């Protein structure tokens, strides 16, 4: 048993324990079944809301817990260790739409949306990517045209986590005109609700992992959005999205740390009880060394994440550090889950044990909210800037 380090406050430890208990009781026992049917009960979102986990970063005046980023990310790690699908719903909701409304919304938008988002009555989603605009996010083509006191939107958004069950969707769309394209400065953010005419949920993706988390396309077909649903200033949507993704990437790093933690715990338990050649696997140094490397990389990922979160809470600029945290944690999750499967041998390759699901779940952490290659671009630009 490795000693737990003590840099967390008493309150942070309590939050960690609440999240761990919820994960142990509600998520870990069900995650395999939810993965198999590609669905989880709708009640899970409300249960997260009842625990306060959908408004962790929101001030109390908007119904949130008013906590720091580190507390939120500690809870998110525990939720991810129980079920990575639940974790991505929690991460996207907290880090992106709620934080965007809090940071850039009008007072009316905050009071309309945030209290219900804090309880989980309204789940949030983030719609940036499109079928032809993924890593190159400023190439989005969904177009908004002003018409009286509303905007009319046409286009398709892709890879939208929570998109078919969200009541509040932050969508980045073009508000510049074909005759005056302004690149990333021609994009604005809108608060979309599914009751608006012209809103359609499209294809639900059939994914390798995170199968209990819905990922859908959304199509806007003459979607009429009242002008007061524009978030912040016209033309600032790309910058708002990029700023919010810094927090989002810390959330995905926490999710990756949780996946790696779960894989390591399963691997330790299995290699202790599995005997070959007359002794437990843990008595083979090849196995012990592998576990040591897994534990070390996990610790490094968590340490980087916590250091970055603490710096963010002090108000420091952590854009490149958030990218490093996501890059390192997601590649660690992929590596640790791969090693876990190797330690389980054939049993790791079949669905009798959870490590194959953890391996499938880990992969997308290297892809979404900016692929590992995009994180390297962000880090590389910071490293080489004068």
Among 159, 190, 199, 353, binds ligand CAA (CB under 6 A): 159
Residues paired with 146 in a beta bridge: 151
Buried b (16+ CB within 10 A) or exposed e, 213-229: bbbbbbbbeebebeeeb
Among 13, 185, 299, 360, binds ligand CAA (CB under 6 A): 185
Residues paired with 170 in a beta bridge: 126, 191
Could you tell me which stretch among 15-23, 159-167, 325-333, 353-361 binds ligand CAA (CB under 6 A)?
A: 159-167
Give me the 131-150 binding string for ligand CAA, x by CB under 6 A, dash otherwise.
----x-xx------------
Could you tell me which stretch among 34-42, 50-58, 306-314, 367-375 binds ligand CAA (CB under 6 A)?
A: 367-375
Binding status of residue 366 toward ligand CAA by CB under 6 A: no
Give me the 189-228 binding string for ligand CAA, x by CB under 6 A, dash otherwise.
----------------------------------------
- Alpha helices (runs of H) in the chain, residue ranges in sequence order: 10-22, 31-37, 43-50, 69-82, 84-93, 99-104, 107-119, 237-273, 285-313, 319-344, 346-349, 355-363, 372-384
Catalytic member of 78, 130, 246, 369: 369
Positive or negative torsion for Cα 228, 239, 80, 135: positive
Among 27, 48, 51, 128, binds ligand CAA (CB under 6 A): 128
Q: Is 234 assigned a catalytic role? A: no
Which candidate, 231, 248, 209, 241, places its Cα nearest to that of 129?
241
Q: Let me know: does 100 contact 42? Beta carbons within 8 Å.
A: no
Among 230, 245, 304, 327, binds ligand CAA (CB under 6 A): 245
Give whichever of 300 and 377 is closer to ligand CAA, judged by the CB atom.
377
Could you tell me which stretch among 18-26, 104-112, 155-163, 294-302 binds ligand CAA (CB under 6 A)?
A: 155-163
Binding status of residue 246 toward ligand CAA by CB under 6 A: yes
Could you tell me which stretch among 42-50, 97-105, 236-244, 297-305 binds ligand CAA (CB under 6 A)?
A: 236-244
Give whichever of 82 and 248 is closer to ligand CAA, judged by the CB atom.
248
Query: ∠158-160-163 over CA atoms, to 5°?
Result: 120
Among 122, 220, 238, 270, binds ligand CAA (CB under 6 A): 238
How would you classify the pairing of strands 124-127 and 168-174?
parallel
Q: How far is CA 319 from CA 73, 189, 337, 371, 381, in A?
A: 16, 20, 27, 15, 11
Binding status of residue 370 toward ligand CAA by CB under 6 A: yes
Residue 130 DSSP one-character state:
B
CA 194 to chain centre: 22
299/216 Cα distance (integer angstroms): 34
How would you classify the pairing of strands 275-276 and 230-231?
unpaired
Give whichever of 128 and 191 is closer to ligand CAA, judged by the CB atom.
128
| Sites of contact with ligand CAA (CB under 6 A) | 92, 126, 128-129, 135, 137-138, 159-161, 184-185, 238-239, 242-243, 245-246, 319, 368-370, 374, 377-378
Query: Could you list the active site residues?
Result: 369
């Amino acid at each position: 048993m490795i000693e737990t380090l003590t840099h967390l406050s008493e309150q942070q430890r309590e939050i960690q324990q609440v999240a761990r208990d919820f994960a142990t009781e509600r998520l870990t026992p069900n995650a395999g079944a939810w993965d198999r049917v590609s669905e989880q009960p709708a009640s899970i979102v409300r249960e997260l809301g009842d625990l306060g986990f959908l408004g962790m970063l929101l001030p109390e005046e908007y119904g949130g817990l008013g906590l720091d980023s580190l507390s939120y990310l500690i809870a998110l790690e525990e939720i991810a260790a129980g079920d990575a699908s639940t974790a991505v719903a929690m991460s996207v909701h907290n880090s992106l739409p709620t934080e965007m409304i809090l940071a850039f919304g009008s007072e009316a938008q905050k009071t309309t949306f945030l209290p219900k988002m804090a309880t989980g009555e309204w789940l949030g989603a983030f719609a940036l990517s499109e079928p032809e605009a993924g890593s190159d996010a400023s190439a989005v083509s969904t177009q908004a045209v002003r018409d009286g006191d509303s905007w009319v939107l046409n286009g398709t958004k892709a890879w939208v986590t929570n998109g078919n069950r969200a009541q509040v969707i932050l969508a980045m769309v073009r508000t510049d005109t074909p005759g005056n394209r302004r690149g990333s400065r021609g994009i604005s953010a809108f608060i979309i609700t599914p009751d608006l005419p012209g809103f359609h949920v499209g294809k639900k993706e059939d994914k390798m992992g995170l199968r209990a988390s819905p990922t859908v396309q959304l199509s806007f077909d003459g979607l009429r959005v009242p002008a007061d649903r524009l978030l912040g200033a016209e033309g600032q949507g790309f910058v708002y999205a990029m700023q919010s993704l810094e927090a989002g990437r810390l959330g995905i790093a926490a999710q990756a740390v949780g996946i790696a933690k779960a894989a390591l715990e399963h691997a330790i338990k299995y290699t202790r009880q599995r005997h070959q050649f007359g002794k437990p696997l843990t008595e083979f140094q090849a196995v012990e060394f592998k576990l040591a490397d897994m534990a070390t990389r996990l610790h490094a990922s968590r340490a980087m994440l916590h250091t970055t979160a603490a710096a963010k809470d002090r108000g420091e600029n952590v854009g490149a550090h958030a990218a490093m945290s996501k890059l390192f944690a997601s590649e660690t999750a992929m590596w640790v889950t791969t090693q876990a499967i190797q330690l389980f041998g054939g049993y790791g390759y079949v669905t009798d044990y959870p490590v194959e699901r953890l391996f499938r779940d880990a992969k997308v952490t290297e892809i979404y909210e900016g692929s590992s290659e995009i994180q390297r671009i962000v880090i590389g630009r910071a490293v080489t800037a004068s």
